[in-house]
């Protein structure tokens, strides 16, 4: 079996390792930049941009893969799944329209509101035409969170009390966001413990993986700017210290309802990973955001624990038979911790070695 893997991060390395456990699989990878871990597991690889559709199409036609697995959000948002579908290659990953679950926070908030799905906070969507109404909305909801409507690499969200203090600062950031994005979302600030619930979806059936807690702040004690992730952990009982079984089940229920709503809204089946960023509050589980792919680093927490053949899981997603296979995970805890260069995430040093004690590690990302 041939698999085309698109992506070059640590997440895609974990995906490649999961595929590599099946000795009947050949991995062909398309990377934005060279990842030696992925390349070492690949029969062939190609380096290129995620928006270079001709290069991706040419590589895919040469390989003739049984299916493609799209790792990062950028090619999903660009419509790579649609491109591959046009040449007869199915993908584990949503189409460009369905990827709006991640690429457009306003789309997701409106979807939950339209189909009356639990988990939405109070929110308002503002653009350059109605931004003057944002002040009144801020007065209504108290403390807030400001989110650009679009991809920001996990670094665009700002929280009152952490990244800014006053409503005037919130409005200032809203206007800053609107210089580069079509809209900005203001949401009530939710208090509680955040967790990630990644789910497989074939469009009708949804299966949950063990919950993971990711730590995005750059410094200890949850201080500093948001990053793409500094570390994460999962627990051997497939819960988290603050999480009840009901919380996890409620999170899965929200995702199942969202999958159903996406089909009603678009007529398309969501085939891929639905990753819900959730928060356990005193008023129940609420939705912070959705990602249309595995988390990085959360993929590294769950994939090594999976007992099922990952290739079989992906085939079941593509064929719409996710309910026909058993997906189990080992009762083990997992921890990921990142090494990052000085100045990360705002101004990271590049092409320098990271020194730990007496050892020196090359920095290649």
Which of 133, 154, 188 corresponds to the end of one domain? Answer: 188
Considering the domain boundaries, does residue 342 fall inside one?
A: no
Whether residue 195 sits in one domain with residue 184: no
Q: What's the alpha-carbon Rg for the chain, to the nearest Å?
A: 20
Instruction: Judge if 175 and 222 occupy the same domain.
Output: no
C-alpha 148: how far from its chain's center? 16
Q: Distance between CA atoms of 348 and 39, rounded to whole angstroms?
A: 25
Residue 359 lies in a domain: no
d(CA 143, CA 187): 9
Does residue 245 sit in the same domain as residue 330? Answer: yes
Is 261 a member of any domain? yes
End residue of a domain, out of 188, 216, 232: 188
Kindly give, in sequence order, each residue whose CB lies less than 8 Å from that of residue 136, ignoring residues fewer than 6 positions away: none
Lookup: tokens for 323? 């309910």
Quick one: 228 and 273 in the same domain?
yes
CATH code at position 200: 3.30.470.20
Torsion 338-290-47-15 (CA) sign: positive
Task: Give yes or no: residues 182 and 210 share one domain.
Answer: no
Mapped to the 3 state alphabet, what secondary structure does 278-331 carry?
Answer: EEEECCEEEEEEEECCCCCCHHHHHHHHECCCHHHHHHHHHHCCHHHCCCCECC
CATH code, domain carrying 164: 3.30.1490.20
- Mean pLDDT, residues 198-219: 95
Q: What's the pLDDT at 363? A: 43
- The pLDDT assigned to 133 comes to 94
Distance of CA 251 to the CA centre of its chain: 15
Residues 280 and 329 in one domain: yes
Residue 131 belongs to some domain of the structure: yes
C-alpha distances (whole Å) from 90 to each of 94, 180, 266, 316, 351 are 10, 33, 18, 12, 37
Q: Is residue 352 part of a domain?
A: no
Domain that holds residue 178: 122-188
Taking the alpha carbons at both ends of the chain, their separation in whole angstroms is 29
Query: What average pLDDT does this structure show over 239-245?
Result: 97
Closest CA to 153 of 299, 296, 339: 296
Residues 10 and 296: beta-carbon distance below 8 Å: yes
Report the CATH number at residue 88.
Answer: 3.40.50.20
- Across 304-328, average pLDDT: 97
Q: Flag the least confident range among 184-198, 233-247, 262-276, 336-350.
A: 336-350
**Percent helix / strand / coil, the chain, rounded to 5:** 35, 30, 40
Q: How confident is the model at residue 359 (pLDDT cuts 50, 70, 90)?
A: low
144 and 280 fall within a common domain: no
Cα–Cα nearest to 73, from 299, 287, 262: 299
162-184 burial, b for 16+ CB within 10 Å, e for fewer? bbbeebeebbebbeebbeebebb
In a domain, residue 113? The reply is no
> pLDDT tens digits, residue range 243-273?
999 999 999 999 999 999 999 999 999 999 9
Q: Does residue 331 form part of some domain?
A: yes
- pLDDT greater than 80 at residue 153: no
Question: Is 364's pLDDT higher than 50?
Answer: no
User: What's the average model confidence in pLDDT over 312-324?
Assistant: 98
Domain boundary among 157, 188, 219: 188
Claim to verify: residue 256 and residue 195 sit in the same structural domain: yes
* Structural domains of the chain, count: 3
262/213 same-domain check: yes
Same domain, 182 and 232: no
More confident: 338 or 101: 101
Residue 109, domain member (yes or no): no
Instruction: Tell me the pLDDT band of 358, cut-offs 50, 70 and 90.
Output: low
Let me know whether 32 and 12 are in one domain.
Answer: yes
Please check whether residues 181 and 202 belong to one and the same domain: no
Q: What is the DSSP string of 5-67?
A: EE--SHHHHHHHHHHHTSTT-EEEEEESS--HHHHHH-SEEEE--TT-HHHHHHHHHHH--SE
């Amino acid at each position: 079996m041939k698999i085309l893997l698109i992506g070059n991060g640590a997440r895609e390395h974990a995906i490649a390792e999961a595929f590599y456990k099946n000795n009947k699989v050949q991995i062909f990878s398309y990377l934005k930049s060279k990842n030696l871990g992925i390349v070492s597991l690949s029969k062939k690889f190609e380096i290129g941009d995620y928006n270079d559709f001709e290069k991706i199409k040419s590589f895919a036609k040469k390989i003739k893969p049984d299916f493609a697995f799209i790792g990062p959000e950028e090619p999903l948002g660009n419509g790579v799944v649609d491109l591959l579908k046009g040449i007869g290659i199915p993908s584990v990953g949503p189409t460009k329209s369905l990827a709006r679950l991640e690429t457009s926070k306003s789309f997701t908030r409106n979807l939950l509101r339209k189909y009356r799905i639990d988990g939405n906070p109070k929110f308002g969507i503002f653009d350059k035409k109605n931004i003057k109404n944002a002040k009144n909305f801020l007065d209504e909801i108290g403390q807030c969170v400001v989110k650009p409507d679009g991809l920001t690499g996990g670094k665009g969200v700002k929280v009152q009390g952490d990244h800014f203090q006053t409503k005037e600062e919130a409005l200032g950031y809203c206007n800053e966001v609107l210089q580069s994005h079509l809209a900005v979302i203001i949401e009530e600030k939710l208090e509680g413990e955040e967790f990630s619930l990644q789910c497989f979806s074939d469009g009708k059936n949804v299966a949950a993986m063990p919950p993971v807690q990711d730590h995005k702040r750059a410094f200890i004690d949850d201080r500093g700017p948001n990053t793409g992730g500094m570390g994460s952990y999962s627990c051997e009982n497939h819960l988290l210290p603050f999480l009840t079984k009901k919380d996890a089940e409620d999170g899965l229920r929200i995702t199942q309802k969202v999958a159903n709503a996406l089909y009603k809204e678009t007529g398309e089946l969501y085939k891929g990973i639905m990753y819900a960023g959730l928060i356990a509050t005193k008023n129940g589980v609420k939705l912070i955001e959705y990602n249309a792919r595995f988390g990085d680093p959360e993929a590294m927490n769950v994939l090594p624990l999976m007992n099922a053949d990952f290739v079989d899981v992906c085939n079941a997603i593509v064929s719409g038979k996710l309910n026909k296979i058993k997906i189990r995970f080992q009762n083990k805890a997992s921890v990921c911790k990142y090494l990052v260069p000085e100045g990360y995430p705002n101004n990271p040093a590049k092409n320098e070695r990271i020194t730990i004690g007496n050892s020196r590690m090359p920095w290649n990302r």
